[in-house]
């Protein structure tokens, strides 16, 4: 029997994304965002508040990166969500992490995270109380250690984090359960 839980954002899993951009002085700022998703083959939508330091930097620089947080870097990923660049001027430096300038957009690639999408700002808008930043994915970089033999990202090697909105937990992506566009073929053929 199902029980009513009220109005609840009951979506799981939610990716743990680290959004990074430069400020007007070339200083790195990063934030943790769980409310983001691919919205087209070459676009990503981030539902982040307009008041975030990182959001303001994205609007000024017109570029940003989106890294997939992983288990090995969970402490810094969580810190990027706890601390605000509006109040903590040395937020990125406190992690001891390193960043290099993207070869494709005017944004930092954080070395420690294994997969990063390099994006140009495509659009930003506000609607019904939420703010959305749309980025065009120009390039994706990945550590060789998370790639399979065909040069594709292997999620079993990535150890990506997922956010659990129900109990405020982080979970690691695990084993493969099936093959997309194959598991339902028998039902389609009936």
Would you say residue 178 lies in a domain? yes
Neighbours of 37 (CB within 10 A): 13
pLDDT at 17: 98
Would you say residue 3 lies in a domain? no
Higher pLDDT, 135 or 5: 135
Would you say residue 1 lies in a domain? no
Q: What is the pTM of this model?
A: 0.94
Structural domain boundaries, residue 103: 14-188
Q: What is the pLDDT of residues 123-169, one digit of tens each?
A: 999 998 889 999 999 999 999 999 999 999 999 999 999 999 899 99
Would you say residue 7 lies in a domain? no
Q: What is the pLDDT of residues 16-55, one digit of tens each?
A: 999 999 999 999 999 999 899 999 999 999 999 999 999 9
Would you say residue 9 lies in a domain? no
Would you say residue 8 lies in a domain? no
Would you say residue 5 lies in a domain? no
Would you say residue 6 lies in a domain? no
Q: What is the pLDDT of residues 56-107, one digit of tens each?
A: 999 999 999 999 999 999 999 999 999 999 999 999 999 999 999 999 999 9
Instruction: Read off the CATH number of the domain in which 105 is found.
Output: 2.30.110.10
- Count of domains forming the chain: 1
pLDDT at 175: 86
Instruction: Please state, in angstroms and as integers, the Cα–Cα distance from residue 98 to each residue in 88, 101, 181, following that order.
Output: 18, 10, 39
Of 72-76, 116-120, 132-136, 186-190, the range with the lowest mean pLDDT is 186-190
The yes-or-no verdict on residue 176 having pLDDT over 90 is: no
The yes-or-no verdict on residue 9 having pLDDT over 90 is: no
């Amino acid at each position: 029997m199902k029980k009513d839980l009220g109005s609840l954002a009951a979506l799981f899993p939610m990716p743990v994304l680290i959004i990074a951009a430069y400020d007007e002085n070339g200083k790195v700022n990063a934030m943790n965002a769980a409310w983001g998703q691919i919205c087209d083959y070459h676009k990503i939508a981030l539902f982040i508040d307009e008041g975030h330091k990182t959001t303001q930097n994205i609007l000024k620089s017109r570029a940003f990166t989106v890294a997939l947080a992983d288990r090995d870097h969970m402490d810094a990923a969580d810190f990027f969500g706890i601390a605000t660049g509006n109040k903590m001027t040395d937020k990125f430096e406190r992690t001891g992490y390193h960043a290099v300038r993207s070869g494709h957009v005017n944004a930092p690639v954080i070395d420690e995270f294994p997969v990063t999408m390099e994006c140009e700002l495509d659009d930003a808008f506000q609607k019904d109380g939420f703010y959305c930043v749309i980025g065009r994915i120009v390039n994706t970089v990945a550590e060789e250690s998370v790639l399979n033999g065909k040069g594709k990202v292997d999620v079993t090697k990535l150890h990506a984090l997922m956010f659990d909105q129900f109990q405020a937990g982080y979970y690691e992506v695990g084993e493969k359960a099936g093959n997309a566009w194959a598991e339902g073929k028998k039902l389609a053929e009936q």
